Amino acid sequence: MTTQQLTEQIQKKQSFLCIGLDVDLNKIPQHLLQEEDPIFAFNKAIIDATHQVCVAYKPNTAFYEAYGMKGWQALEKTINYLNEKHPDIFTIADAKRGDIGNTSSMYAKAFFEDLAFDSVTVAPYMGKDSVEPFLAFKNKHTILLALTSNQGAFDFQTKLVDDKELYKQVLETSKSWENSKNLMYVVGATKAEYFAEIRKIIPNSFLLVPGVGAQGGNLQDVCKYGLADNVGLLINSSRGIIYASNQSDFAEAAAQKAQNLQLEMASILKHAD
């Protein structure tokens, strides 16, 4: 999917919501554990109930890797289901990969070819040659960690390197890489006060913004300086949506939470015009 197609979906649905599919078998309704594939059964019910109010889904691969082969199979079924049933929805493998070049090429093949995700999250720490193998894939997107939502972001990302914060160095340097048009960036919703500075460096790049909901980030605060001409935001909420209920009404409860966020987004977009 191109970024233009993504923006068109955002305008059509009046939503820039990304729902995180972080499946924890201890948190899903217990009756689903009797299913042959409880993880996929949960994801399918969540997707069926919420696809009209969101534009993206983001499974975090940790929640699948933790269940070994069965977890990977559930991830594969989930991405196949999304690609077959909802090809207009943007998909993100939140895998935070990145390694020496030939290894990154294999990671890119795994997530863009074998699993056919639209995008994958990548750590910038190993530099240009660790990221460019991902960028080489046409119409696929590499979402670089810039300023993360956790407290530990202050350990390195905001430290000065050559008189400039490291996260700014990541944004500026990565703009010069080959196929940088395929870059998006992760910026945490809990860092809303940084968005104005970030938009000076990357005015129209898409930002994946986790941290709304369970981590306490605020949608209005992010949008104040984060919105771009092409909207340029994908706001992720995982636990705050998918675990709204652990009873038989879990899918309806998730849909209600997702719709509440979508309505707030529609109102923001209306007032931004």
Ligand X SMILES: O=c1ccn([C@@H]2O[C@H](COP(=O)(O)O)[C@@H](O)[C@H]2O)c(=O)[nH]1
- Which one is catalytic: 12, 27, 44, 96? 96
Distance, CA of 23 to CA of 144 (rounded, Å): 23
Alpha helices in 86-135 (DSSP H): 101-108, 128-135
Q: Which is nearer to ligand X, 43 or 238 (CB)?
A: 238
Our answer to whether residue 181 is catalytic in this structure is no
CB 208, min distance to ligand X, A:
8
Copy the structure tokens of residue 127.
Answer: 């530099």
C-beta separation of 147 from 138 below 8 A: no
* Kind plus residue range of the DSSP H or E element containing 72: helix 68-85
Q: Is 123 in the site for ligand X (CB under 6 A)?
A: no
Q: How far is the CB of 63 from ligand X (least distance, A)?
A: 8
- Within 160-249, residue ranges assigned H as helices are 166-174, 195-201, 219-226, 239-242
* 3-class SS of residue 160: strand
**Distance of alpha carbon 46 from alpha carbon 48, whole angstroms:** 6
Q: Does 236 participate in binding ligand X (rule CB under 6 A)?
A: yes
Whole-angstrom CA distances from 78 to 25, 98, 214, 238 are: 16, 23, 23, 16
Minimum Å gap between C-beta 85 and ligand X is: 22
| Contact flags string 138-177 toward ligand X, x per CB under 6 A | ----------xxx---------------------------
Q: How far is the CB of 215 from ligand X (least distance, A)?
A: 5
- Candidates 110, 123, 126, 214; binder of ligand X (CB under 6 A) is 214
Q: Tell me which residue has its CB nearest to ligand X.
A: 148
Binders in 178-197 for ligand X, by CB under 6 A: 186, 188
CB-wise, 8 or 24, nearer to ligand X? Answer: 24
Among 38, 55, 92, 94, binds ligand X (CB under 6 A): 94
**H helices of 175-249, where?**
195-201, 219-226, 239-242
Give yes or no for a contact between 158 and 166, defined as CB atoms under 8 angstroms apart.
Answer: yes
* Secondary structure element (H or E) that encloses residue 256, with its range: helix 250-272
Amino acid at site 168: K
Q: Give the x/- contact pattern for ligand X in 48-87, rule: CB under 6 A.
A: ------------x---------------------------
Considering the complex, what minimum distance in angstroms separates the CB of residue 22 from ligand X?
Answer: 5
Nearer to ligand X, 44 or 191 (CB): 191
Which residue, 15 or 238, has its beta carbon nearer to ligand X? Answer: 238
Question: Does 238 participate in binding ligand X (rule CB under 6 A)?
Answer: yes
Single out the residue of 256, 266, 197 nearest to residue 235, CA to CA: 266
Q: Among all residues, which ones are annotated catalytic?
A: 96
Residues that bind ligand X (CB under 6 A): 20, 22, 60, 94, 148-150, 186, 188, 210-211, 213-215, 236-240
